[in-house]
Amino acid sequence: MKISSIVGKDKLTLSFEVFPPKTDSDFEKVKEAAFGVAAIKPAYISVTYGAGGSTSTNTLAIAKGIQEKYGVATIAHLTCVGASKDSIIKSLSDMRDAGIENVLALRGDKPKWFDGEPFKEYKYASGGFSVGGACYPEVHPDSANRQEDIINLKKKVDAGCEFLTTQMFFDNSVYYDFVENVRKAGIDVPVIPGIMPITRESQIENVIKLSGCKMPQQFIKIVDRFKEDKASMKQAGIIYATQQILDLYANGVKNVHVYSMNDSSVAGAIYNNLSDILSM
């Protein structure tokens, strides 16, 4: 099923992100974890792509498996950094053959091991086969400023992105301001907020490094108070993410994407917290 026929409608939806195994020896273990998230039967599942295409066949295998076993629509991420046009065409045709109808078209970051010209054929995520794209409420780290970032975002939408998923954020006002600016720029596709449940203190450093997003004082206090007790920290992270999602729905957002990181206990808890709301 096409994601564009799921998002932007009246029905409230929750979707999850899973990642594929990095190595073939991990395949079964990681597949089972990803399938655990699919068993919750969210609106759809996105399957990430390892830096520089390092997991391309596993991304496809996980996405195909989820669709076939659980009947849940998937969107396969695809990065173009370091890729040739031929390899992108091949990836897209493999996706079609596997019955995947949705692609999150990404530029990606230069992988650590890659020493070639990273953006020779594809400089940015705009252009070519594109259904969904990424956007950055707290501005992409490569952008000079928000205005420039939004101008470039418009190019992606004009090139065919039918919906956008945001980088994670922990303060909803950041998302509301961003959407206001995006709409002023004439971008009218759904902007799906990406919510990351932080259930361990150790995730924070990585998240900040990866996304550059700010942690609000309210959340820092929660982490400081509960970080020493694993179960309490997990519960607090789930509650915080649920509250963010609830606030988004209350403010008219229809579709929320959760960076659930293959943890079905976290994804399931958030889903259950919102079960009546989601079946409205």
The three-class DSSP label of residue 94 is helix
How many residues bind ligand FAD (CB under 6 A)? The answer is 23
CA 19 – CA 8 distance, rounded (Å): 25
Q: Counting contacts by CB under 6 A, is residue 130 touching ligand FAD?
A: no
Complex with ligand FAD: residue 62 or 278, whichever CB lies closer: 62
Q: Counting contacts by CB under 6 A, is residue 107 touching ligand FAD?
A: yes
SS percent in the chain: helix, strand, coil, step 5: 45, 15, 40
**CB of 245: closest distance to ligand FAD in angstroms?**
16
- Looking at 88, 106, 223, 241, which residue binds ligand FAD (CB under 6 A)? 106
CA 245 – CA 238 distance, rounded (Å): 11
The region of 66-74, 84-92, 148-156, 242-250 touching ligand FAD under the rule CB under 6 A is: 148-156
Task: Specify whether the backbone of 188 is left (phi greater than 0), alpha (psi in -120 to 50) or beta.
Answer: alpha
The region of 94-102, 103-111, 217-225, 230-238 touching ligand FAD under the rule CB under 6 A is: 103-111
17 is catalytic: yes
Strands of the chain, DSSP E: 13-18, 44-47, 73-79, 103-106, 132-135, 163-168, 191-195, 255-258
- Looking at 77, 101, 161, 264, which residue binds ligand FAD (CB under 6 A)? 77
One character per residue 160-199, x = contact with ligand FAD (rule: CB under 6 A): -----x-x--------------------------x-----
The region of 6-14, 106-114, 170-178, 216-224 touching ligand FAD under the rule CB under 6 A is: 106-114
Token readout for 42 is 């969210």
What is the distance of C-alpha 100 from the center of its chain? 17
- Looking at 4, 87, 143, 235, which residue binds ligand FAD (CB under 6 A)? 143
Q: Counting contacts by CB under 6 A, is residue 76 touching ligand FAD?
A: no
Burial of 54 (0-12, 13-18, 19+ CB in 10 A): middle
Cα 158-162-165 angle, rounded to 5 deg: 110
Tell me the CA end-to-end span of the chain in Å, nearest whole number: 22
Residue 27 φ/ψ, nearest 5 degrees: -50, -55
Complex with ligand FAD: residue 67 or 79, whichever CB lies closer: 79
**CB of 156: closest distance to ligand FAD in angstroms?**
6
Token readout for 124 is 């940015």
β partners of residue 168: 194
- Looking at 35, 49, 163, 240, which residue binds ligand FAD (CB under 6 A)? 49
Applying CB under 6 A, which residues contact ligand FAD? Answer: 48-49, 51, 77, 79, 106-109, 124-126, 134, 140, 142-143, 149, 152, 155-156, 165, 167, 194
